[in-house]
Structure 1
Amino acid sequence: MRKRRPTIIDVAERAGVSKSTAARALAGAESILDETRERVLAAAKAVGYERNHLAVGMRSGRSGMLGLVIPDITNPFWADVARGALDRAAEADVSLLVFSSDWDPAKEESHLRALRRARVDGAIVNPVSDALDDLDKFGLPFVLIGSSAERFADVSSVGSDITQAVELGLDHLVSKGHHAPTLIVGPKSRLARTRFLNAVQRHSIKRDVDPAQLIVEDGEYTLEGGRLAMLRLLDRPRLGHICVFAANDMMAIGAMMAVRERGLRCPEDVSILGFDGIPSGAFTFPGLTTIAKPGRDIGARAVESLFDEIEGRPEHGRVYMPCRLIDRASLADLSREPRKLAG
């Protein structure tokens, strides 16, 4: 025989209070004495009571659920963003529905429709398309993450400080004697590519280096994209050591695969710097030196910003999260050697 589900009446009886007092204590009402609240919470735990969030939502107009749409759940960076958002939502006793658009605008739109049907209280979105013209289509409070968000100055958004990150990476390369790195970047359709290259250009000009001399190879933001881009670079005529700064760690690890495929060594023949800080970079051989984005912090901060949006306290601006260097073994130190152009 199925056991009866505990009710608020069971909690009230065990705590020795009225049903209304028990309900207000569990709802966090400020008028309840701390001693009474603790007694009610202990009673709820003892009888195994769980609040009916659907009923609470019907009374409050809130569902207690948020949505998160990221472009690639298989990419460890985006998985880390999702984990940060999940943890922060759980702290607030809120559920988070996570969707992966797989870089497909049609899937993204389908996920947004699903979130509206689920009556989530708000959504965090990394738009697949950089041409996100109709922000009102969300029809609910939202916060943007990722590169596309910077185009919308009047919308709350959270993301990495790409300029700071690129300069951090280039300064480290210069300290190792790599003054003109080759760049592996994303597709021309992505705003992230433009931001990355703009930061490189500004840094180069400050150091009196002509940005036009830097070799740039496009690729997809995947292992295979980085591998193919690196193979194309290795097919070019070159002189001396090659240094590569990849726009994400997946591409950097793919580049390492291509180096081995051609019978070369990293970092003896080719130095590689990544960007993201995904955990797998610690287990490559050699370990991948990278600029780590604060993925988990971005997810948590985006949830906090979304809470403000829901409560009518919008930030309406960009929150830039600083990145940090993780120095491993994928960069050769040429600083004591005569300066050569990297290709």
Structure 2
Amino acid sequence: MQRRRPTIIDVARKAGVSKSTAGRALSGASNVTDEARERVLEAARAVGYERNDLAVGMRSGRTGLLGLVIPDITNPFWAEVARGAQDRAAENGASLLVFSSDWDHGREASHLRALRQARVDGAIINPVADSFDDLDRFGLPFVLIGSSAERFPANSSVGSDIAQAVRLGMDHLVSKGHHAPALILGPKSRIARARFLRTFHEHCVERDIDPAALPMEDGEYTVEGGRTAMMRLLQRDRVGHLAVFAANDLMALGAMVAVREAGLRCPEDVSILGFDGIPAGAFSWPGLTTVAKPGREIGVRAVDCLFDEIAGRPEHGRVFMPCRLIERGSLADVSLDQPRRAASSGRG
């Protein structure tokens, strides 16, 4: 037979106090003696009582629940964002409900409805669609994350500084002698692709390089997407060493697979630079040099901003988080070869 769930009446009876005194003690109210509070807490432990947070939330207007809607929980970068958000929420006594939209607008809308029904205090959302209708109807405090948030400048948002990150990667490629790398980009429908490509174009124009002349391939932000894009790059005519800047680390790791399958070596024949900083890059062979986005820090900062929104202290505007370079072994240094090559071509 299923055991009845203990109630606050059971706690009060066990502690020898009134129900109201037990309630005040368990809620942390100050108008309870230390001795009574200790008896109530001990009684709660003894009978196995757990406070009904939903019922408390209905009375107070707060549930202590936050929502997080990310595009792909299987991508380690987004898992890091979720971990940072969860840790910060827990530090503030809140719980986090995590949903993955899988880059699907319908699924995202369904998740937003579920969060409203769960009476969350607010949510952190990476919007996957250009339409703002679903967020207008959300009716609760929210903070946006990811590159997609740039479409909505009037709302608080937190994300990586993509322009700084792309420039950081390009400057590192140039320092290694790779002045005209090929690109592996995400789908044309994603705003992250446009932001990446815009900064890349600016970098090339500053160095008198025609970006239209550089090879580019699109693919999904997955290992297989990077693999197939890299295979297409390898089928193109080329001279000398090939350097590739991939739009995320999963794609970069897939590109490494394609290089091996083609009988080539990384970095001896092909250099590869990733973008995200996921842990798997440290365990590939060679290790993946990458521009690391601050996934966990984004999650932490987004929760801080959300608490401000909930408290009526909004941080309107976009918070840009700086990225950093992690150098491993996937980029060859060909800078010393270039003077010899130039001299050799000059002798005709």
Q: Normalization by structure 2: what TM-score?
A: 0.88
| C-alpha contact 2:11 2:47 (8 A) present in aligned 1 | yes
Distance 1:174 1:318 in 2: 30
Distance in 2 between residues matched to 1:80 and 1:220, nearest whole Å: 20
Is the partner of 1:98 in helix, strand or coil? strand
CA distance in 2, matches of 1:147, 1:329: 28
Distance change in 2, residues 1:34/1:193 (3 Å) = farther
Q: Deviations over 1:301-331 (max 9, x none)?
A: 2122112112211111111111111111100
Moved more, 181-190 or 12-21: 12-21
Separation of aligned partners in 2, 1:34 and 1:92: 24
Residue 338 of structure 1: SS of its match in structure 2? helix
2:234 paired residue number: 234
Q: Point out the structure with max Rg over C-alpha.
A: 2
Match of 1:326 in 2: 326
In structure 2, give the amino acid aligned to 1:248: N
What code does the residue aligned with 1:228 have?
A: T
Q: Which residue of 1 aligns with 2:146?
A: 146
Question: Compared with structure 1, are the counterparts of its residues 20 and 247 closer, same or farther at alpha carbon in structure 2 (3 Å cutoff)?
Answer: same
Aligned counterpart, 1:27: 27
Partner residue, 2:310: 310
Matched residue type, 1:124:
I
What amino acid does structure 2 have at the position aligned with 1:173?
Answer: L
- The answer (yes or no) to whether the contact 1:124–1:303 under 8 Å persists in 2 is yes
Describe the shift of the 1:12–1:319 C-alpha distance in structure 2 as closer, same or farther (beyond 3 A). Answer: farther
Q: 1:31 to 1:238 in 2, by over 3 A?
A: farther
Provide closer, same or farther for how the CA distance between residues 257 and 314 of structure 1 changes in structure 2, counting only shifts above 3 A: same
2:99 equivalent to 1:137:
no
Kept in 2, the 8 Å contact 1:187–1:220? The answer is yes
Quote the residue 2:53 is aligned against.
Answer: 53
CA distance in 1, matches of 2:211, 2:72: 31
Q: Larger deviation: 99-108 or 197-206?
A: 197-206
Write out per-residue CA displacement over residues 225-280 of structure 1, whole angstroms, 9 at most, x where no aligned residue: 11111111111100000000000001101111110111000000000000011111
**Superposition map of 1:122-201 within 5 A:** 122-132=122-132, 135-201=135-201
Helix, strand or coil at the partner of 2:137: helix
Number of aligned residues: 341
Residue deviations 1:110-165 (CA, integer Å, cap 9, x gap): 11122222222212111112344563122221111111111212101111111111
1:78 and 2:95 are equivalent in the alignment:
no
Identity of aligned residues (%): 75
1:148-203: per-residue Cα shift (whole Å, max 9, x none)? 11121210111111111111111111121111111111111111011001111222
Give 5+ residue unaligned stretches, structure 1.
none
Q: Are the structure 2 counterparts of residues 199 and 49 from structure 1 closer, same or farther at C-alpha, using a change threshold of 3 Å?
A: same
C-alpha contact (below 8 Å) 2:109/2:134 kept by paired residues: no
Task: Check whether the contact 2:243–2:272 (CA below 8 A) recurs between aligned residues.
Answer: yes
The TM-score with structure 1 as length reference comes to 0.90
CA drift of 1:4 comes to 5.7
The aligned counterpart of 1:338 is: 338
Q: Provide the rounded CA distance (Å) in 2 between the counterparts of 1:131 and 1:2.
A: 48
User: Any gaps of 5 or more consecutive residues in structure 2?
Assistant: 343-348
C-alpha change, 1:37 and 1:293, in structure 2 (3 Å) is: farther
110-119 vs 50-59, which moves further: 110-119
Segment drifting more, 305-314 vs 208-217: 208-217
Match runs of 1:81-120 below 5 Å:
81-120=81-120
Give the CA deviation at 1:219. 1.2
Change (3 A) 1:35 1:303: farther
